[in-house]
Amino acid sequence: MSGGCGRNPPPFPDNEDQEAELDTRVLDSDEDDDDEGEDIFTGARSKPITPTSAPDEGDIFSEEGSYIRSDVHHATNGLHSDEELDLFTEATVELTLTNTTSQGRREIIGPTASACNTTHVPNSILKPSIVTKTMEELEEEESGDQFELNIAVTNPEKIGDGMNAYMSYKVSTQTTLPMFLNKTFSVRRRFSDFLGLYEKISAKHSLLGCIIPPPPQKSVVGMTKVKVGKEDSSSAEFVEKRRAALERYLQRVVAHPSLLQDPDVREFLERDELPRAVNTQALSGPGLLKMINRASDAVNKMTIKMNESDNWFESKLQEVENEEQLLRRLHAAVDSLVNHRKELCLNTAVLRKSVAMLGSVEENSALSRALSQLAEVEDKMEQLHQQQAFSDFFILAELLADYVRLLGAVRCCFEQRMKVWQRLQEAQSTLQKKREAEAKLLWANKPEKLQQAKDDINEWESKVSQYERDFERVTCTVRKEVLRFEKEKARDFKQHIVKYLESLLHTQHRLVKCWEAFLPEAKAIA
């Protein structure tokens, strides 16, 4: 569940100047580096531009479509406050294209699964093959009407000194989506910005029953080391871990069709300076967990049990809870693997030194040479083990950690539905009380209060029907979300498993090479 069309973007042309000049919307851009952008646009334009009608309430996309339409009118100022005139002219264009965006998005969900057979490797691993992937990208884009959105989080930089220091990350976006001002752009963000984004998204969408991807966890220990300026491998590792986690987080956010349409998300990606997000304490790792657990506690304490028309929700929730537990166990096992492999790496290094020493003392020259060669082999193996541990962690362990937290978010989603239902229940009982009150008044014959009672009843009747609709909608949304989530999860796991196996394959291949190189040396001993 990560990455809209989660490929690593090709190395961006220097976008620094593009950030400054937001006036050139790359609609019919001459300096367009990828041609398919233009094709898509012309293609899009030629499509009949009918606003997607929303007959069925359960269609998320139409919902979001309408949401955005209104949004465009009001919120453009918020997006890029410094550019007024140009934006307005463009706003009209954007309006018509928004619908195709919705349509386009739908298309993405379908073919995406097959198109994205690519890797979600942290930038540091995959750099060499990025170019070839781009070619693939191009080919696939010619075949289908797809909108691309690639996000990368790179270049962590330490800003400031001492305890007030923080890491700033470059968030680069490459997209053909029309709702963005440019095709490629980047901004700098800090960790609290990401948490702030989560807060905003969560406030808006969780009530609708969407599964909100949880942000990476805060880590006091990790950050303190970085702030203090400890330039060692563990703090470098921490920064890399965080960078990768932030990238995955954003990729998951934009993979979600409704979230992508959210102006806050767009603002996050595009806007130069974001106001500092405050009160992110609650969103730190343990804080978030507490929130989730509180929600489930509240549900458990509900006295009136939900009358489920079908078992789907109950059994699904059970499934999710079980899977979360099992994933935790798997994650622990993979964690152990990472640690042991790191240990193996260390021990190999130590052995290497020892063998080298032995070789230097050995009086038989051929054997001495062979022993030094053996030490070389051990050295190469140490590097291989190191790289494999890296893959173990970033491809497998982090995936599992992410999904444990995602399953928690899924649970939250179910709980939201319960809350909505509870609200409906309460409204219904309030309505009942009001009706009883009216009846009492009628019986007691107090006409002056009767009108009030009737008004009350009307008010609550409409509330009840509103809440009923809400509940229907949420139920639909949750169901859709869960199905989408499961599809994404299967796809994600498959991708990562394949990538992991490929990393193992690569390691074994290199091992063969190492040993084959050594064999003649061993045979040369005389």
Beta bridge partners of 151: 173
- Which residue lies nearer to another protein by CB, 240 or 362? 362
Measured CA to CA, the distance from residue 104 to residue 65 in angstroms comes to: 11
Cβ 8 to another protein shortest distance, Å: 19
Distance separating alpha carbons of residues 235 and 238, to the nearest angstrom: 5
Nearer to another protein among residue 213 and residue 359 (C-beta): 359
221 vs 526, which CB is nearer to another protein?
Answer: 526
Would you say 282 or 497 has its CB closer to another protein? Answer: 497
Nearer to another protein, 289 or 337 (CB): 337
Quick one: which H or E segment has residue 188? strand 184-190
The answer to whether 6 and 150 have CB atoms below 8 angstroms apart is yes
The label of the residue with tokens 């269609």 reads: 59
Q: Which helix (H) or strand (E) holds 59?
A: none
Q: Reduce the DSSP state of residue 443 to 3 states and report it.
A: helix
B/e letters for 185-198, b = 16+ CB within 10 Å, e = fewer, are bbbbbbbbbbbbbb
Distance in angstroms (rounded) separating the CA atoms of residues 262 and 235: 34
Among candidates 96, 64, 263, which has minimal Cα distance to 180? 263
- Please state the closest distance from residue 312 (CB atom) to another protein, in A: 15
Shortest distance (Å) from residue 516 CB to another protein: 6
By C-alpha distance, which of 192, 189, 183, 151 is closest to 170?
189
Alpha-carbon gap, residue 164 to 224, rounded angstroms? 10
Q: How many CB atoms lie within 10 A of CB 155?
A: 14
Smaller CB separation from another protein, 205 or 380: 380
The structure tokens listed for 170 are: 């470059």
CB of 350 to another protein, least distance (A): 5
493 touches 399 (CB < 8 A): yes
CA end-to-end span of the chain, whole Å? Answer: 58
Distance separating alpha carbons of residues 30 and 15, to the nearest angstrom: 16
Q: Quick one: 77 or 364, whose CB is closer to another protein?
A: 364
Closest CB 351 distance from another protein, rounded Å: 4
Q: Smallest distance, Å, CB 104 to another protein?
A: 26
Which is nearer to another protein, 63 or 488 (by Cβ)? 488
* For another protein, the closer CB: 171 or 377: 377
Report yes or no: 199 and 283 within 8 Å, Cβ to Cβ: yes
For residues 271 and 352, which CB has a smaller minimum distance to another protein in the complex?
352
Q: How far is the CB of 152 from another protein (least distance, A)?
A: 25
Minimum distance of another protein from residue 281's CB (angstroms): 34
The nearest distance, CB 338 to another protein, in angstroms, is 9
- Length of the chain, in residues: 526
CB of 523 to another protein, least distance (A): 6
For another protein, the closer CB: 295 or 338: 338
Rounded to the nearest 5 degrees, what angle is found at the Cα of 247, between the Cα atoms of 395 and 269?
165
What is the distance between the alpha carbons of residues 211 and 414, in angstroms, rounded to a whole number?
A: 9
Radius of gyration of the chain (CA): 28
User: In sequence order, what are the beta bridge partners of 152?
Assistant: 172
Residue ranges binding another protein (CB under 8 A): 117, 319, 322-323, 326-327, 329-330, 333-334, 336-337, 340-341, 343-344, 347-348, 350-351, 353-355, 357-358, 361-364, 366-367, 370, 374, 486, 489-490, 493-494, 497-498, 501-502, 504-505, 508-509, 511-512, 515-516, 518-519, 522-523, 525-526
Taking the complex as a whole, the smallest distance from the CB of residue 502 to another protein amounts, in Å, to 6
- For 488, the token pair is 């994404």
